[in-house]
Structures are given as C-alpha cells and as structure tokens.
Chains A and B, each alone.
Chain A
Amino acid sequence: AQSVTQLDSQVPVFEEAPVELRCNYSSSVSVYLFWYVQYPNQGLQLLLKYLSGSTLVKGINGFEAEFNKSQTSFHLRKPSVHISDTAEYFCAVDSNDYKLSFGAGTTVTVRA
C-alpha cells in the first residue's frame, strides 16, 4: 500500500510570487503521480501527471512538477501565481493497483 504526504497544509503567497507545494510518497513499486486542483464546491481538475519518461512534467495554468525517484517526491511549482490560483491542491499516487491515494491537501491562498 502507498501513502502520500503533503508537507504543507497551508501556503500563503503573494501575487506574482513563486510557489512550491511539496509531496512525498511511499511505495515499493513504480508509481504514477498526479496533481489535482479543487476550487470550492467543485470536483477535481487534473493539473498534470507523471506516468513515465521525462521527470519534469509540465501541466496546465503554468504549473510544473518534478518526479524524484530517489527522494520519492513529486513537488509542484509555479513561477508566478495569480489570485485565481487560490484553491486546494491534492497530490495523488497510483501504485499499479488502479486506484488513487490522495494526500491531505494543501490550501494555497494568493494575496494581492
């Protein structure tokens, strides 16, 4: 079984500043990794995913993440955030058992 740890529960950030959301996972097998964003009272929207290949993954809305196998991490970054990036962000892992395990989530609040 795998577990997912999102190291920051809340991340306040000023508009146009960079942001990094940290995600670590534990799994003894190869994994597929995902980052989702959730706006209030809505479902989850996929930002990006890592299945194989290049460890640097680019997603929507200017987000990117880097898979680091040795550190079992998949941190999400954006070089310059907007007010509209205020949301809940979830890291998720699938260890080939064809279902997702989610981290606890990180609340990003962007201030002007």
Chain B
Amino acid sequence: GAVVSQHPSRVICKSGTSVKIECRSLDFQATTMFWYRQFPKKSLMLMATSNEGSKATYEQGVEKDKFLINHASLTLSTLTVTSAHPEDSSFYICSARGATDYGYTFGSGTRLTVV
C-alpha cells in the first residue's frame, strides 16, 4: 500500500531558528500534498495544500512567510517553519494523495518543540 515517510519525527529547536520537515511518498507519485497542524487533544487543522511544481495554497489565517512549503517533486514536499517561536510548538502531519487511487495517506507526524 501507499506509504508516506515524514522526517524528523521529533525536533527541538531554539527560538528564532528555522526548522525543515520533509514528507516523502515512497511508492507512489503524490500529485498533491497537505500539511496539517494538530494541537494537543484537538483535531487536525489544514494549513496548506501543495501541488507539485506550483505554489502552495494556504488556508485562511496561516502565514505563508512563516510556514514555507516547497513541493519540488512528485515524491517530496517540505515545510519550513521560519524564525520559530514557542507558540509554533505543535504536532505537524503531512498527507499525500496520488493521481490514480482516491485516498489520502498520512505521514507519522513531527513533534516540534521550540525552546
């Protein structure tokens, strides 16, 4: 079945630094990838949708200059949290959808802690 690898699983960074999270589809080509943020004991909040080779579409209220998304290939999307602050600490999850099988496959998530 479809597999999405997300890396790193856990990262701690200092306030003011930037962190990059990678999301890879391992055995299929992901035409569309999604980035979510999840607060403790809460549901997933869609941050942005990215299509390969084009700019990401951000949801209302999500700062595109703070959360940089790059979808340079059909198997890789990255989320960079720029100038991270403690309030950016959260669980970030990516998801990918292929062109042929209607389904969304999720990565295992990244726990970001900004200190």
Residues of A within 8 A of B (CB): 32, 34, 36, 41-46, 49, 51, 90, 98-100, 102-105, 107
Contacts and interface: CB of A to CB of B under 8 A. Distances in A.
Interface string B77-115: 000000000000001010101000011111111010000
A33 to B, nearest CB: 12
Given A102-B43, A105-B43, A44 B106 contact: yes
Nearest to B107: A43
A44 B46 CA distance: 14
B52 to A, nearest CB: 14
A61 to B, nearest CB: 15
Interface size bucket, B side? 20 to 34
Interface of B is mostly: strand
A99 B43 contact: no
A110 to B, nearest CB: 18
A100 B46 contact: yes
A90 B32 contact: no
A41 B42 contact: no
Contacts of A36: 106
Contact of B109 (A41, A98, A102, A107): A41
B43 A104 contact: yes
Given A102-B43, A102-B44, A104-B43, A46 B103 contact: yes
Contacts of B97: 98
- With most chain A CB atoms within 10 A of its CB, the pick from B95, B105, B106, B109 is B106
